[in-house]
Chain A
Amino acid sequence: MSTAAHADSHDDHDHKPHGWRRWVYATNHKDIGTMYLVFSGCMFFVGGMFAEGIRAELFKPGMQLFDPQFFNSLTTMHGLVMIFGVIMPSFVGLANWMIPMQVGAPDMALPRLNNFSFWILPFAFTLLLSSFFVPGGAPAGGWTMYPPLTLQTGASFPMLIFSIHLMGASSILGAINVIVTIMNMRAPGMTLLKMPMFVWSWLITAYLLIAVMPVLAGAVTMQLTDHYFGTTFFTAAGGGDPVMFQHIFWFFGHPEVYIMILPAFGIVSEIIPTFSRKPLFGYEAMVYAIASIAFLSFIVWAHHMFTVGMPLAAQLFFMLSTMLIAVPTGVKIFNWAATMWHGSLSFEPPMLFALAFVFLFSIGGFSGLMLAMVPADYQYQDTYFVVAHFHYVLVTGALFGIMAAIYYWLPKWTGHMYDLKLGTWHFWLSTIFVNVLFFPQHFLGLAGMPRRIPDYAVQFTDWNMVSSIGAFGFGLSQFLFLYLIIKCVRGGVRADSRVWEGAHGLEWELTSPPPFHSWSTPPSAAVIAHGAEH
């Protein structure tokens, strides 16, 4: 990649390996970040292919393409690949690239661990994806892996469990590296409350990861021993409790939801001030809001399972704690709006994606608030309303955040400006089609269509067709994104170090592309002060 060629002139101690060794033995945070991003890009197209398969089958009533069991495998694998293979690794990739540059460090604190945590992933996903070819097919019990259904999985069962273990190990190692880097490698003078929002959001996310990934590992291991070693943790016939799995799973699963959105909050908090040419409004409130959201994420898990038959008091508690999350989330939205107020706004692709994030994530937040109301949740639970809700927060939330970040930092990474016009096209196509795809799913859910069904009653036909058309359009639009990135990596107009007129932060004090060992000497107090104008 071009990074290396340009970096030579800045780096006198360049003993990095070349060719394949550069990647397999990689210890450089940028190379590892690139590998994370390329990996999650590949998985994005794999998971997207599953999604297009789902939408193709649901285009009209009747079974046209797949056996129902294979359809269930598609929904299960779509969820697992998109969550563990796309959103999480791309955030780790962005953390790898940006955190050392933003805190004034030469690299991540633990480079060999960094190499290990990345290289686990291709093996984990080879294991998971090859389960399509074993007897019984790929896992089909849903990405939530509820027993007893998941215990019925065929030969792919241990492959599922071990790949989850590997993904979890990779995430924990990545999180340790992020925390150690932020705590120890900040340039002298960069106090915690001078850190960029992206760094703050990742610091908190990393703690969430360390707290909950072992919980997931424990839960799936209990299923493994139920399946092979005669334990009955989740088997009622042996005195076990299938609902206990759901409690343990969602104790992981809800913080996981915030693991997938907090870094996007950080990204948007970087981009909106840049293109408003105005510092972030209420920086400290933003930090406290992220911290409160992270804390609350540990006490709301059972809102994913209101229909399992919990005591009244428990349902009331989880309803109230869930509604409380709307407060810090609202603070974030209001602060972003206030940042734009009396700003000087321009609309380059990163800003467009950040704006779409604020609007569309809010829609996901509204449906989340509706879902928190337990009696109404009885009607929404496990319908397409929920599918619409979590795709608004994960696609137009997390994924749009990642796309915004790529559009924001790509010129910094490659040293080339990309085709802004093409980026704007990609934005409008994605935004229009993603709404055609997911908005009608609210209607389907309210009208009574359950999720995870391969075929449906004929009154659901019309909106399903619209949704599928949106899905095909959204999928095709992403090839534009791929083309734009490849074109930008291969060449283009030279980007200067600031790239965006209103950009502040240490990464913009480095050349584009940055030197191989980002900050080989710590930035001076003056440079930090210049960069820390949030």
Chain B
Amino acid sequence: MKFRAQLASIALAALGAAGTLTARADSGWSQLNMTQGVTDISRRIYDLHMAIFWVCVAIGVLVFGVMIWSLIKYRKSRGAVADTTLLHSTRVEVIWTVVPVLILVLMAVPAARTLVAIEDTSKTGLTIKVTGFQWGWRYDYLDDGVGFYSHLDRKSDAARELTSGIDPNTVDHYLLSVDHPLVVPVDTKVRLLITGADVIHSWWVPAFGVKKDAIPGFINEAWFKVDTDKPGLYRGQCAELCGRDHGFMPIVVDVRTKADYAAWLKQEQAAQKPATPPAAAANTAAPAT
């Protein structure tokens, strides 16, 4: 049959593609789950995610199990005769209304606790204003007189052009590296004041469990505190459609030890002194809400 032949060729094409994929060495296949991240909040979010996931799996196994059992056992082809008297049962219906309510209440408690912790922006050690714009980020260290723009790095920018001829696999951290990363110290509650200069953007770093919209006219608050033993580079992306180059405004946070951070800050302050005073950098601020 012609149709079968077509099907076979589709299947073969799919298999071929899968074959070339497995031949590649990197670990794309294993990217299946949310990151646990490097902050207390991100781990609590991960635990919540896994808890609700397993609740869903348990309910799924139960409900799908009953249905699959019916599909096998009550087939007409196996001579099953319908019991047309089964119209409703108040007892069963009450059970399957009340039990889900209880499960939901049990899930809502840890979710609410985590949310309360996330919303606590008190006692912060460092405040940075984050401004999203088309298409990049600006960071202003409000208390230290340091500020800079952060754009997609040049290598990615060249490779991402239509018909650039550059294989993205040859670019280091393609689309996830910037010319000037945000630098913060470990073990410090870093408060972000997030706003947008033109349209709405969203500042997201999965490893911190932080995603907050950058909205013109609003100043949103978010915070993160990276574990002492986890300095390093953490990467994220804009998470709200913001126009043509929405996919090309990554976020990189360079988390350093406190001593390294202090040294970096001193160097930046020296370098930026003759340039813009901090007041000028603040002129994109919009009315508070």
Contact = CB atoms under 8 A, between A and B. Distances in A.
A447 B247 contact: no
A358 interface: yes
Contact of B82 (A284, A307, A344, A366): A344
A149 B74 contact: no
Contact of A375 (B31, B44, B81, B286): B44
B45 A382 contact: no
Contacts of B261: none
A62 B159 contact: yes
A214 interface: no
Contacts of A447: 31-35
A444 B166 CA distance: 24
B32 A309 contact: no
Interface stretch (A122-130, A275-283, A515-523): A275-283
Given A343-B70, A345-B76, A319 B92 contact: no
Interface in A372-388: 373-376, 378-379, 381-383
Given A331-B97, A379-B49, A382-B202, A307 B211 contact: yes
Interface stretch (A6-14, A20-28, A261-269, A333-341): A333-341
Contact of B93 (A282, A309, A362): A282
A312 B118 CA distance: 10
Grouping DSSP codes into helix (H, G, I), strand (E, B) and loop, the A interface class, with mixed when no group exceeds half, is helix
A454 B93 contact: no
A373 B121 CA distance: 20
Interface string A340-370: 1111111000000001001100110011011
Given A316-B112, A375-B118, A453-B237, A338 B92 contact: yes
B175 interface: yes
Contacts of B162: 63-67
B122 interface: no
B246 A359 contact: no
B52 A379 contact: no
B116 interface: yes
B75 to A, nearest CB: 5
Nearest to B35: A448
Contact of B175 (A308, A331, A446, A456): A456
Interface in A31-80: 61-69, 72
Nearest to B11: A473
Contact of B100 (A63, A316, A326): A326
Contacts of B277: none
B262 interface: no
A443 B32 contact: yes
A240 B168 CA distance: 42
A236 interface: yes
B213 A309 contact: yes
B217 interface: yes
B244 to A, nearest CB: 4
B76 to A, nearest CB: 4
A461 B24 CA distance: 11
Nearest to A323: B104
B204 interface: yes
Contacts of B164: 62-63
A346 B82 CA distance: 11
Nearest to A365: B56
A460 B74 contact: no
B10 to A, nearest CB: 6
A282 B74 contact: no
Interface in B61-77: 63-64, 66-67, 70-71, 74-77
Nearest to A325: B104
Contact of A358 (B52, B67, B74): B67
Interface stretch (B83-91, B141-149, B252-260): B83-91
A344 B76 contact: yes
A455 B247 contact: yes
B284 to A, nearest CB: 11
Interface stretch (A95-103, A110-118, A395-403, A462-470): A462-470
Contacts of B175: 61, 455-457
Nearest to A305: B213
B75 A345 contact: yes
A330 interface: yes
Contacts of A243: 215, 218
A181 B240 CA distance: 43
A237 B196 CA distance: 12
B96 A376 contact: no
Interface stretch (A140-148, A188-196, A198-206, A248-256): A140-148
Contacts of B74: 276, 340-345
B18 to A, nearest CB: 8
Which of B27, B60, B175: most chain A CB closer than 10 A? Answer: B175
B8 interface: no
A25 to B, nearest CB: 40
Interface of B: 3, 7, 10, 13-14, 17-18, 21, 24, 26-29, 31-35, 41, 44-45, 48-49, 52-53, 56, 59-60, 63-64, 66-67, 70-71, 74-77, 80-84, 86-89, 92-93, 96-97, 100-101, 104, 107-108, 111-112, 114-116, 118-119, 159-162, 164, 166-169, 173-176, 198-200, 202, 204, 206, 209-213, 215-218, 220-221, 236-248, 286-287
18 contacts: A68-B247, A140-B243, A148-B200, A149-B243, A309-B212, A309-B218, A312-B116, A316-B112, A337-B66, A346-B77, A375-B41, A378-B211, A382-B204, A443-B31, A448-B237, A452-B247, A456-B175, A480-B3
Given A63-B162, A283-B88, A319-B112, 6 more contacts: A141-B243, A149-B199, A308-B213, A367-B56, A425-B3, A458-B28
Interface of A: 61-69, 72, 140-142, 146, 148-149, 152, 236-237, 240-243, 276-279, 281-285, 307-309, 312, 315-316, 319-320, 323-324, 326-327, 330-331, 333-334, 337-338, 340-346, 355, 358-359, 362-363, 366-367, 369-370, 373-376, 378-379, 381-383, 425, 429, 443-444, 446-448, 450, 452-463, 465-466, 469, 473, 476, 480
